[in-house]
């Protein structure tokens, strides 16, 4: 079957537009946080796997960090373990942590690895406990109201923050033509497991690897202004101003702060990408328009 003339012309245009981007990013490392709708729709899952394999085939080095909150919630419900959240973070007692490790390190991680491999890639699944990949410590959460004389310390269990990344392991895998797929489980000094937000893990991995790009797949079109228009090409100073004037607030704040820390820590650019769009990763990397919000540490001229 041959392509219609118009369809063929469109394919040629896309390939031609992609070429300079491919040349620019050959040999560079891109860290992609995979989650949200992109992990739930069969079409989007297949497309994501193909995107990752294509990136590797043209000489770009993808490193995938994935979430899995809905899958964790489903299994906890089936096991009659009640879920509690504080400031958007799942309170993780010992029983919940066991489920988190089963779901993230087992079910979700291996399904992503398998999908990438089915499309011709060589993916290897890891948790932060493998070779001390993601070193972590307990996250301290405090809350203070005007009537309180000092902050209240809230124990949310096995929830952690990243203290270090084993870049030697990741570099070895990347150079060996493998695609690392990382579950966001960290390991403490005494071997204890920690549940860590996948965006934060992706950001810290990108910083440690001095990655060219950090891409955070989301369920929204990107960072929007007060008129509902997607903002892109932002500097860190512009993002700080948007936080100060209230344009960025609520659930978007942690994701944006993660992106900010990454570019301030040496990552060339961070992208908030609409994971509901088919082939969103390739569109953001290989086209002029992209499908999300770009943040860089470059100063405005």
Q: List the binding residues for substrate.
A: 68-69, 90, 195
- E strand or H helix that includes residue 98: helix 94-100
3-state SS, 37-63, equals HHHCCHHHHHHHHHHHHHHHHCCCEEE
CA distance 87 to 143: 10
Question: Which of 89, 45, 90 has its CA nearest to residue 66?
Answer: 45
Cα–Cα distance for residue pair 236/297, rounded to 1 Å: 6
The CA distance from 75 to 104, in Å, is 11
Whole-number Å distance between alpha carbons of 138 and 161: 6
DSSP class per residue in 124-177:
EEEETTGGG-EEEEEPPEEE--TT-SSPEEE--BSBEEEEEE-HHHHHHHHHTT
Distance, CA of 28 to CA of 60 (rounded, Å): 6
How many other CB atoms sit within 10 Å of the CB of residue 146? 4
User: If phi over 0 gives left and psi between -120 and 50 gives alpha, with beta otherwise, what is residue 133?
Assistant: alpha
Structure tokens at 27: 């040999």
């Amino acid at each position: 079957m041959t392509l219609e003339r118009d369809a063929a012309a469109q394919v040629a245009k896309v390939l031609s537009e992609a070429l300079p981007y491919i040349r620019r990013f050959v040999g560079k490392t891109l860290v992609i946080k995979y989650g949200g709708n992109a992990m739930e729709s069969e079409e989007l899952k297949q497309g994501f796997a193909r995107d990752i394999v294509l990136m590797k085939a043209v000489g770009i080095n993808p490193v995938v960090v994935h979430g899995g909150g809905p899958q964790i919630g489903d299994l906890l419900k089936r096991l009659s373990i009640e879920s509690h959240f504080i400031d958007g973070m799942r309170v993780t007692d010992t029983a919940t942590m066991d489920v988190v490790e089963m779901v993230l390190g087992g079910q979700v991680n291996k399904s992503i690895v398998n999908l990438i491999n089915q499309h011709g890639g060589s993916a290897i699944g890891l948790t932060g406990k493998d070779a001390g990949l993601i070193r972590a410590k307990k996250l301290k959460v405090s809350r203070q109201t005007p009537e309180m004389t000092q902050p209240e310390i809230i124990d949310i269990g096995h929830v952690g923050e990243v203290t270090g990344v084993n870049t030697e392991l990741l570099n070895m895998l990347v150079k060996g033509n493998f695609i690392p797929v990382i579950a966001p489980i960290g390991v403490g000094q005494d071997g204890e497991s920690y549940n860590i937000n996948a965006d934060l893990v992706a950001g810290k991995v990108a910083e440690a690897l001095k990655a060219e790009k950090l891409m955070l797949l989301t369920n929204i079109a990107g960072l929007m202004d007060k008129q509902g228009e997607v903002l892109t090409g932002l500097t860190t100073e512009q993002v700080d101003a948007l936080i100060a004037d209230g344009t960025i607030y609520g659930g978007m704040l942690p994701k944006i702060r993660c992106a900010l820390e990454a570019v301030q820590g040496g990552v060339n650019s961070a992208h908030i990408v609409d994971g509901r769009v088919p082939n969103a990763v390739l569109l953001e990397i290989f086209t002029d328009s992209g499908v999300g919000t770009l943040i860089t540490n470059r100063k405005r001229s």
